[in-house]
């Protein structure tokens, strides 16, 4: 009798056994992946819930830019506030291109919480005015509503040469970003160890000078109201940091809803909103 049918049967049985093992391994791997995704989603939901709780407990603080100075002032001397450059004032280039103009806007910081107070730090081109003089701004405490809640005499402030501001004008005409800007930061710290920190990035720029329409080499103060000459966000957005422990420097991580997420936005299920990073 030939052994061929027997050998063929063994080969078929071996193939089926291998297929069964491969199928079982695939099912196990799929089960592990499902369990891993469930664990990741569970952790993300917990992180998102913790963030929502910190959002609800955070004191409501607002930061606004307003009252951009117009006509613009000259640069201060020894801290003393200089006078205004009147509309239509002329500078002859290159002889007067190094004279200076101040770009300035008032910054209002208000703590609307009924009982909580917060600490505030300032960075960049921020100054305060007191008794007609400009001074550096120092960290401060904002008390709850009704107790000096609005920062007083705080300004985003920097001076530029007329040449620099003429470069802003040329950039605007060419559709490029304006190169010369006033920037500052307001950082508000909640007092709790596991609270939040909010940081506003402030920016003011513009073209307060323009070339004379008929004479070459002469730049003048824009005769308009300043509305179209200056650029700033009156209600800037802010970045929120969530803390597990501020004292230990431990931040609450970003929620991740799928394995393999890195710096890209998480794949959030349709039934949950995405994590809030920048706050309006």
Same domain? For 25 and 109 the reply is no
Residues 47 and 181 in one domain: no
Which residues are 251's β-sheet partners?
A: 243
**Same-domain check for residues 81 and 191:** yes
The pTM is what? 0.75
pLDDT exceeding 70 applies to what percent of the chain?
72
For residue 129, how many other CB atoms are within 10 A of its CB? 17
Same domain, 138 and 175: yes
The answer on 171 and 33 residing in a single domain is no
Same domain, 189 and 142: yes
Is 3 a residue whose pLDDT tops 90? no
Sequence-distant contacts of 137-146: CB under 8 A, at least 24 apart: 141/117, 142/61, 142/109, 142/110, 142/111, 142/117, 142/118, 142/188, 143/111, 143/117, 144/59, 144/111, 144/113, 144/114, 144/115, 144/116, 144/117, 145/111, 145/112, 145/113, 145/114
Residue 170 pLDDT: 97
Most confidently modeled range among 64-68, 106-110, 182-186: 182-186
β-strand partners of 119: 141, 189
What is the number of domains present in the chain? 2
pLDDT digits (tens, 9 = 90+) for 67-123: 888 888 888 776 667 788 888 899 999 999 999 999 999 999 999 988 888 999 999
Q: Are 33 and 157 within one domain?
A: no
- 66 and 45 within one domain: no
- Whether 73 and 127 map to the same domain: the answer is yes
For 186, the domain range is 61-245
Residue of higher predicted confidence among 15 and 189 = 189
* Residue 24 and residue 104 in one domain: no
Select the more confidently predicted residue: 266 or 181.
Answer: 181
Q: Residue 275: which pLDDT band, with cuts at 50, 70 and 90?
A: very low
**Over residues 247-274, mean pLDDT:** 58
How many Cβ atoms sit within 10 Å of the Cβ of residue 31? 10
Q: Are residues 271 and 227 part of one domain? A: no
| Mean pLDDT across 7-31 | 52
Which carries the bigger pLDDT value, residue 174 or residue 37?
174
Residues 125 and 262 in one domain: no
Per-residue confidence (pLDDT) for residue 241, from 0 to 100: 92
Which of residues 105 and 31 earns the better pLDDT score?
Answer: 105
């Amino acid at each position: 009798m030939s052994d061929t049918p027997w050998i063929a049967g063994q080969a078929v049985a071996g193939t089926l056994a291998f297929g069964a093992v491969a199928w079982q391994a695939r099912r196990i791997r799929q089960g592990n992946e499902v369990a891993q995704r469930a664990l990741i989603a569970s952790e993300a939901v917990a992180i998102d819930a913790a963030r929502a709780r910190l959002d609800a407990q955070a004191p409501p603080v607002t930061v606004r830019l307003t009252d951009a100075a117009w006509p613009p002032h000259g640069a201060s001397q020894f801290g003393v506030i200089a006078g205004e450059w009147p509309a239509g004032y002329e500078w002859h280039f290159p002889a007067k291109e190094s004279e200076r103009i101040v770009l300035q806007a008032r910054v209002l910081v208000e703590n609307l919480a009924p009982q909580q107070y917060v600490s505030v730090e300032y960075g960049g081109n921020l100054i305060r005015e007191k008794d007609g003089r400009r001074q550096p701004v120092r960290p401060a405490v904002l008390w709850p509503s009704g107790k000096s809640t609005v920062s007083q005499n705080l300004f985003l402030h920097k001076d530029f040469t007329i040449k620099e501001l003429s470069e802003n004008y040329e950039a605007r005409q060419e559709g490029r970003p304006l190169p010369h800007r006033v920037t500052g930061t307001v950082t508000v710290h909640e007092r709790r160890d596991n609270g939040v920190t909010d940081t506003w990035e402030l920016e003011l720029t513009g073209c307060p000078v323009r070339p004379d329409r008929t004479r070459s080499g002469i730049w003048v103060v824009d005769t308009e109201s300043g509305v179209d000459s200056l650029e700033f966000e009156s209600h800037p957005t802010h970045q929120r940091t969530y803390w597990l422990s501020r004292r230990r420097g431990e931040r609450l991580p970003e929620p991740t809803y799928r394995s393999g997420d890195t710096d890209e936005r998480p794949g959030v299920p349709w039934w949950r909103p995405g994590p809030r990073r920048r706050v309006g």
